[in-house]
Amino acid sequence: MRAVFVTRFGGPEGMQLREAPDPTPGPGQVLVDVAVAGVTFVETQIRSGTDKWHAKPELPYVPGGTVAGRVTRVGEGVDPGWQGRRVLADTGQSGGFAERAVASAGDLLPVPDALDLRDALALHPDGSTAFGLLQGTPVRPGQW
């Protein structure tokens, strides 16, 4: 499979398209056939070497923490019902700038067929932030 590797910190010229081995999902993980990979501000700062809040990855690495695509394999202990489903997936801090990526099954979000995968991925940063706030904040109706 093809993947984009960061080979040196700095601008996008430090990124190279290379061949890479297919990842294999472990227990509790799935393999996603990546249709779209998200690019966040934090990821650009990590790639440039200017991010002060995250550890620098060891070079070379494949960036991309969030992807949208279809589950093509499930690892041990994962509900086989995920097989073939369209999802948003969190790959952790890296691995998404590739044709296939491994993600934790516990972090998958199903994407309805009526929603384009690009649109679903674009909604993810704000949507997951809002969802997390609702889950972690005791806001009640009438308080907003």
Three-class SS state of 96: coil
Residue 22 pLDDT > 70, yes or no? Answer: yes
Distance CA 29, CA 63 (A): 18
Query: What are the structural domains, with CATH classification, of the chain?
Result: 2-132 (3.90.180.10)
- Note the pLDDT of residue 50: 95
pLDDT digits (tens, 9 = 90+) for 37-89: 999 888 999 999 999 988 899 999 999 999 999 999 999 999 999 999 999 99
Instruction: Work out the average pLDDT over 90-116.
Output: 95
Helix (H) or strand (E) holding 66: strand 66-74
- Note the pLDDT of residue 80: 98
